[in-house]
Structure 1
Amino acid sequence: MTLDATDLRILQLLQENAQLTIKEISKQINLSMTPTHDRIKRLEQEEIIEKYVTILNKKKLGNPLVVYCSITLDKQQKNHFEEFEEAIKQFPEVIECSVVSGSYDYLVKIIAKNMEAYNEFYQKKLSALQSVAHISSSFVMSEVKNTTVLPIGNLKI
């Protein structure tokens, strides 16, 4: 699918505020409501827009601790990767998990109420996974930038 400047502007507006109405978007892009609606539906159908979400304040909800864990599995075998990934998907404390290259296999982002809650998660869930050989935890002291907005302006049209 080829994106034009209008599509990119729609994407930028929706990233900044997914609650904008078709009317509000159409006004900002100088297009009538029906073509604006059609463009948004096409972006959804093409899965350029994957979903609409609400971003919650983790501190106000009682989970201010953010931890990044570098995890190495004991064996580099397909079944170990599959078992680990299936298990990690079941942990609500894990909010991101990526397979990475380098000296470890996964980078996992975890939120917790406090250090005690993280330690309990670490001991009872994460380190209890049989395929895990090594875990290195890094604790976020301050978030300098935390965004879900992709750099639309850098895309070539």
Structure 2
Amino acid sequence: MAEALDPVDARILDLVQHDASLSVAEIAEQVGLSPSPCWRRIKRLEDAGVIRKRVTLLDSEKLGLGFEVYAIVKLTLPTKENLDAFEDAVARWPEVVQCATITGREDYVLRVITKDIHTFDEFLRERLLSLGLVSDVESHIVVRGVKNTTAVPLGLISPHVEHPE
């Protein structure tokens, strides 16, 4: 899909990734289209899977979930069965807001959000380590977030996107 991304599509994507509450009419006005063609473009981008979903971002700190940890996980034995079992378990744990396989000596990095260090310790003991698949966890507590965005850097594939932050 990236090769078929014209400047109007790129601008639409930039607008909706920064504010999904914009109406089609508002988007259309900002990209210089009438609402119907703009809606068709958005629908095409959704159908192609470029727009995966629209969400509301919450402030975890204001909700009392201000304890954030990056946990680097090494499995005891990284077989296909163990990798699948681990990933299935992680998908069910609401505390894990991101999980990625990584290169190197470890197998995964998890971004975990909880209320406090005690809740994280409970997560570590009762969920992560109780699986029986993990040989090592290295936890990195976030002291202060510097940058946290969900925006994809569209300027790397389309010079027509310049979104001021």
Q: TM-score, normalised by structure 1?
A: 0.97
Indicate the residue corresponding to 1:13 in structure 2: 15
Q: Distance in 1 between matches of 2:127 and 2:35?
A: 50
Correspondence 1:127 to 2:129: yes
Q: Distance in 1 between matches of 2:158 and 2:150?
A: 20
Map 1:2-151 onto structure 2 (within 5 A): 2-151=4-153
Indicate the residue corresponding to 2:162 in structure 1: none
Q: CA deviation at 1:93?
A: 0.6
> Which segments of 5 or more consecutive residues in structure 2 lack a partner in the other structure?
160-165
> What amino acid maps onto 1:90 in structure 2?
R
SS of residue matched to 2:98: strand
Q: Distance in 2 between matches of 1:15 and 1:7?
A: 12
Q: CA deviation at 1:39?
A: 0.4
Q: Distance in 1 between matches of 2:43 and 2:67?
A: 38
- Structure 1 outlier segments of 4+, above 6 Å: none
SS of residue matched to 1:57: coil
Q: CA deviation at 1:62?
A: 1.0
Q: CA deviation at 1:156?
A: 4.3
Deviates more, 1:106-115 or 1:123-132: 123-132
> What amino acid maps onto 1:35 in structure 2?
P
Are the equivalent residues in 1 in contact too, given 2:66–2:115 (CA < 8 A)?
Answer: yes
Q: TM-score, normalised by structure 2?
A: 0.92
> Which segments of 5 or more consecutive residues in structure 1 lack a partner in the other structure?
none
Instruction: Give the RMSD, CA atoms, in angstroms.
Output: 1.0
What do the CA deviations read for 1:54-84 (whole angstroms, capped 9, x no partner)?
1000011110010000000011211111111
Indicate the residue corresponding to 2:163 in structure 1: none
Q: Distance in 2 between matches of 1:98 and 1:154?
A: 23
% identity of equivalent residues: 39
